[in-house]
Structure formats: C-alpha cells, structure tokens
Amino acid sequence: MVRGLRVVFSPNPVSRMLYSYSVPEPGTRGTVTAARVAGGFRTYLDGPGGGLVYVEWDGDGLVCGVSMRDLKLEPADGKPPR
C-alpha cells in the first residue's frame, strides 16, 4: 500500500469481531501510514488474507493495522463508497 492513500474502513460483521483491539466504526475514513518494524518503516505486514495495513483514522488519530480486505479506496470526489 502507498503511504498517504485515502481509505474507508468497510469490514464485514464477522471480520470486525475478529480484531482483538479497538478499530473504528464502519465508514470511518483514514490515511495509510507507516509504522516502525524491525526492518525500518512499513505500511503493511504480510500475512494471511492480504496482511495488515497501517491506517491513521480521521478524528481521533488512532493508528492500527487492519486487514487489507476491510479497506476500500476513498472516492476522489468525496462521495461515500457503495
């Protein structure tokens, strides 16, 4: 994932329950960011299901790793995704 890319959190109900930490409400917008890992800074961690992407969420500034499958690209015109 590209740092600075705008995304929308769009999990299905089952995947949302699988997170063991606080994640934003569905529809929350954020920006892909980088986190420090052993090899430097990365925007994602490889893993099953596409791995985790680090996102800084609008509003509270929470940063967490979420499944790539739970993200949609934010439309350029600002309209909510379908």
Question: Per-residue pLDDT tens for 37-73?
Answer: 888 999 998 887 778 999 999 988 899 999 999 999 9
- ∠ CA 35-31-33, rounded to 5°: 15
What is the model's pLDDT at position 73? 94
| 3-class DSSP assignment, residue 45 | strand
> CA-CA distance, 59 to 39, in Å (whole number)?
29
State how many domains the chain has: 1
Find the domain containing 30 and state its range: 6-73
CA-to-CA distance for 24 and 48, rounded, in angstroms? 21
Q: In the chain, where does DSSP find H-type helix?
A: 13-18
- pTM for the structure as a whole: 0.84
Task: Reduce the DSSP state of residue 63 to 3 states and report it.
Answer: strand
C-alpha 9/C-alpha 16 separation (Å) is 10
Is 78 contained in some domain?
Answer: no
Residue 80 lies in a domain: no
For residue range 6-23, what is the model confidence (pLDDT) as tens digits?
999 999 889 888 899 989
